[in-house]
A and B are shown apart, each in its own frame.
Chain A
Amino acid sequence: MFTQDDFEQLIKNYNEDLLYLLIRASEQSYECLISSFMMLKDLYNAIIKFQASGKFMFRILPYPLSFRANDDLLRTMGFNEEGIRNIYGFLEFVKQTQGKEFEECLEDSVYNLCKRTPGDQPWRMKS
């Protein structure tokens, strides 16, 4: 059975994973980062749906999943000015390589990702 402790462990894992991805972005390690964010978004949605079910409590708060112009949020997570600049640089990188905003990419199929430029073919499994 999924318990409150399991729920809290899930939030802790999510928080660690998000922080890790943001650290990568802050160090300009952008390659294929968006697909990782996409999977993390699914986990975030699962967490808030679990919580919204009324069966679990937010004794640990999950980090909110958004970068939209929020220096304050990134500062509370421990990033300095250069790191924050690089994280916003990731949003620019996404726009250049995917041809659309980061938030739009999160809604898209994972198969459309990992392109270096908007004109590249999406990654597919060999059949």
Chain B
Amino acid sequence: MANEKLSGLLERNIEKITETWMQAVRNDARIDSDEALSRYELRDHVPAIMEEICELLRANEIPDPTNTLEGRVKVYLRFQQGYRGRELAREVSLLRMIMLDFLVDHCADPSMQVSLKGYYSSSRIINLYMDEILINAISAYSEAV
């Protein structure tokens, strides 16, 4: 129930969260590879990733290698764009934190009526999704020739 509510909240704010994330990436001194990317290339697949996360939240489904397809697109593209692995990890970390911060800010509002348990359930799915991206990235960066 909470997952469905938070999924709707995220879905309505995909653009806002994407903008916040893009700003955070541009401002992060530890990420250089983004300089060569246009605004469109940087934005990349983030809205699609969030849509997929929202679907998983609605279905209360645990992320695994077969239902995190949009995250795989991100890894594939960043790898092809010459991004360094650690910078991709940093991008994913920023997205994770921005999404979780966004949720906690809203869950702190009593009118949302989301318990800590409800927040935890959603944050767990988001965290596992981001972990799947990182697992795939480690494979791509360490194994691909």
Contact = CB atoms under 8 A, between A and B. Distances in A.
Contact of A61 (B40, B47, B51, B79): B79
A59 B145 contact: yes
Interface in A38-92: 45, 48-49, 51-52, 57-61, 63-66, 68-73, 76
A110 to B, nearest CB: 18
A70 to B, nearest CB: 6
Given A51-B65, A66-B48, A73 B73 contact: yes
A71 B73 CA distance: 11
B47 to A, nearest CB: 7
A108 to B, nearest CB: 15
B45 interface: yes
Contacts of A57: 139, 143
Interface of B is mostly: helix
Interface string B56-88: 000000001110011011011101100000000
Interface residues of B, number: 24
A74 to B, nearest CB: 11
Q: How large is the interface on A (under 10, 10 to 19, 20 to 34, 35 or more residues)?
A: 20 to 34
Contacts of B76: 61, 63-64, 73
A68 B143 contact: no
Given A61-B76, A61-B79, A73-B77, A49 B65 contact: yes
A22 to B, nearest CB: 14
B44 interface: yes
B69 to A, nearest CB: 5
Contact of A64 (B40, B69, B143): B69
Q: Which of A48, A58, A64 is most buried by chain B, counting CB atoms within 10 A of its CB?
A: A64
Contacts of B47: 69
A104 to B, nearest CB: 10
Contact of A68 (B48, B77, B144): B48
Interface in A67-125: 68-73, 76
Contacts of A73: 45, 73, 76-77
**Which 6 A/B pairs are nearest by Cβ-Cβ distance?**
A57-B143, A64-B73, A68-B48, A48-B65, A64-B72, A52-B65
7 contacts: A58-B144, A63-B76, A69-B48, A70-B73, A72-B77, A73-B76, A76-B77
Interface of B: 40-41, 44-45, 47-48, 51, 64-66, 69-70, 72-73, 75-77, 79-80, 139-140, 143-145
